[in-house]
Chains A and B, each alone.
Chain A
Amino acid sequence: MVEDLKKYFRTPRGIVKAVDGITFSMDLGETLALVGESGSGKTTTAHVIMGFYTPTEGLVTYKGIDIGIPVEKRPLWLKREIQIVFQDPATSLNPKNTVKDILDAALRVHASGTKLERLNKMLELMNYLGLPEEHLFKRPTELGGGEKQLVALARALAVDPDFIILDEPTSALDVSAQSKVLKTLSRIQRDRRVSYLLITHDLGVVRNISNRVIVMYLGKICEESETDELFSKPLHPYTQMLLSSVPAMTKEDEKVLPVRIESRGEIPSAINPPPGCRFHTRCPFAMEICRREEPPACNAGASSHVVRCWLYSSRTRV
């Protein structure tokens, strides 16, 4: 679906290589998580897929069609199939409109129908997501964070999409709201067979709902694997560092983490990314070659487990 995608931004201080050549594809009905620190390019990737930016280079295809075009120029059926849920529902829902206005706007664009039909659909959706009917006439500011995010989700679902991009869907919410939203997301996927592209830095969320994980660092993919495999056998030092940064509450948590690496340093600027492996400036295992050459993609362990790191270069290359 995404092939050698690059997105550069011109800024007064130089060209920011937000996404620098990434390739991945997704299956229908699966959840793929894009993980990484702030500045790793995961949100940029999502926005390119949505058409908020056009790719600098590379291809974004959906069902075999090139969709590297701005959202305004996309055909209506395509907008209907791909939807997005933003990080902060306080800004992704218009504060002046009621829940009814918000959902009705979405319904009017695609499934026209009479006023009554649209209202029925709205109530059905709210019911399905566990939102009480009386919220219909409330404004987003009158709702709680979790409820707001459910309304944002309802808006996306209103057009019956096949593919939803979840851009940090829970990071603006408190813990109890998070679990409710996550449960709802899983339920939607069970009932409707939608695919999710989950953008997050919260590994707990990843473990909860995704099948596959891609770990990104400074615009590049460093590791790609099934979720369980990644959590039990993280290979890339960056992945290990991310996993180590999750606070362990119990002895069991402690055991789950196979390796522990102290997190150090900050993500370097994407204007002048380090040469070779981009992680070498923070990597505890950095070798001479890491500073010079970019690591190749290597197959490690399970066939779907791909890592880009010189530590594993002796293994089969992909």
Chain B
Amino acid sequence: MTSRDLSTIARKEREVRLENLKRAWFRFSRNRLAVAGLIILTTVVVMALSAEYVTPYPSHAGLYINFEERYQPPNPKHVLGTDMYGRDVFTRVVFGFRYALMMVGVVLGIVVPAGTVLGLLAGYYKGTLIDHAINGASEVFVAVPPLVLALAICSILEPNVFNALLAITLMWWPWYARMVYSMTSSLRNEPYVWAAKALGMRTVDILFRELLPNMLGPILTKATLDASWVVIIGASISFVGLGAQPPTPDLGTMLSEYCRYLPAYWWMTLGPLLGIIVLVLSFNLIGDGLRDVFAGE
């Protein structure tokens, strides 16, 4: 066989991959709400990334005081009104998306891979010391209600965004470890795993090439649905004053600052509230769509 044939085969492989992606998209796009969620989330991400350019008053994000314009209800100049320092609420919410999305990215970026690897190891070596160590550790974290644990960690350490992230990460990995653990401990007895062992495949390859692909669907679906929980818990920690501190335009911090002005200046609270709802809703809609994609495979 010549090298020309190799390139033909490589091209064919790319075609097949593209075809599979198209099918996945087809299944996803049949769920209209999921597509809506994807569009909303994309808009939010783009807005958050270019917040300096798309918001009317970027300087209002942090410390800024203009008493002449404070307490203004929603109007064409300030679509979501202004707060007690005269800052544009809409601008601050868009900047708030940044913190929320960063939290989601960092937390899931650590928790999902870490939990998956630990769950794979514990499940594959079920009944051994590795299994007991990993499951024992995860049970300790699972035993405490998540928000309480996060609050405890944040109050011991200095209250700032980094420690809030640390707290959420610590309380979250066991859920992935457990899910992957239960899938691994049933899949590891599949004949294809035995066949791989009989061939002499390395354990790493069995874990990541044979087992992991069969769990990707549930893991990704859970990650997307969990993204909205990260938003809510991150906001909760800030709300009670243990996360980001004012004047950081964090959605939770803003809520706790502004809710004191209820009910007279309701629009101030409405802004960050809408922000959280938009994020949570879009993540959940996408998660539902992903579930359809993987269920159809």
Contacts and interface: CB of A to CB of B under 8 A. Distances in A.
A305 to B, nearest CB: 33
B200 A76 contact: yes
Contacts of B192: 91-94
B197 interface: yes
Contacts of A84: 194-195, 198
Interface string B177-220: 00000000000001110111111111001000110011010000
Contact of B214 (A76, A82, A94, A105): A94
Contact of A110 (B6, B9, B13, B200): B200
A278 interface: no
Contacts of A50: 194, 198
B199 A106 contact: yes
A98 B213 CA distance: 12
B16 to A, nearest CB: 4
A109 B197 contact: no
Q: How large is the interface on A (under 10, 10 to 19, 20 to 34, 35 or more residues)?
A: 35 or more
B12 interface: yes
A155 B191 contact: no
B210 to A, nearest CB: 6
B3 interface: yes
Interface string B158-192: 00000000000000000000000000000000111
A91 B196 CA distance: 12
Contacts of B210: 94, 97, 105
A138 to B, nearest CB: 8
**B interface secondary structure, majority:** helix
A74 B201 CA distance: 12
Interface residues of B, number: 25
B13 A155 contact: no
Interface stretch (A26-34, A115-123, A199-207, A210-218): A115-123
A105 B13 contact: no
A88 B192 CA distance: 10
A72 B205 CA distance: 13
Contacts of A51: 198
Interface in A106-150: 106, 109-110, 115-116, 119-120, 123, 134, 136-137
Nearest to B191: A92
A17 interface: no
Given A97-B213, A137-B13, A116 B3 contact: yes
B133 interface: no
Contacts of B214: 94-96
Contact of A105 (B1, B3, B191, B196): B196
A282 interface: no
Interface in B1-41: 1, 3, 6, 9, 12-13, 16
Given A50-B198, A84-B198, A100-B13, A105 B205 contact: yes
B15 to A, nearest CB: 8
Contacts of A196: none
B191 A86 contact: yes
A6 interface: no
A79 interface: yes
A119 B13 CA distance: 12
A152 B196 CA distance: 11
A52 interface: yes
A40 interface: no
Interface string A31-52: 0000000000000000000111
A71 interface: yes
Interface string A77-91: 001101110101001
A137 B20 CA distance: 11
Contacts of B191: 86, 88, 91-92
Given A136-B9, A137-B13, A71 B209 contact: no
Contacts of B205: 105
Contacts of A98: 16
Contact of B195 (A86, A110, A137): A86
A159 interface: yes
Rank and list the top 9 A-B pairs by shortest CB-CB distance, nearest first. A96-B213, A79-B200, A92-B191, A137-B16, A94-B192, A86-B191, A91-B191, A109-B200, A71-B197
Given A71-B194, A84-B195, 8 more contacts: A51-B198, A92-B195, A97-B209, A105-B196, A105-B205, A110-B199, A115-B6, A120-B1
15 contacts: A51-B198, A71-B194, A74-B200, A83-B198, A92-B191, A92-B192, A94-B192, A94-B213, A105-B210, A109-B200, A110-B199, A119-B1, A120-B1, A152-B195, A159-B199
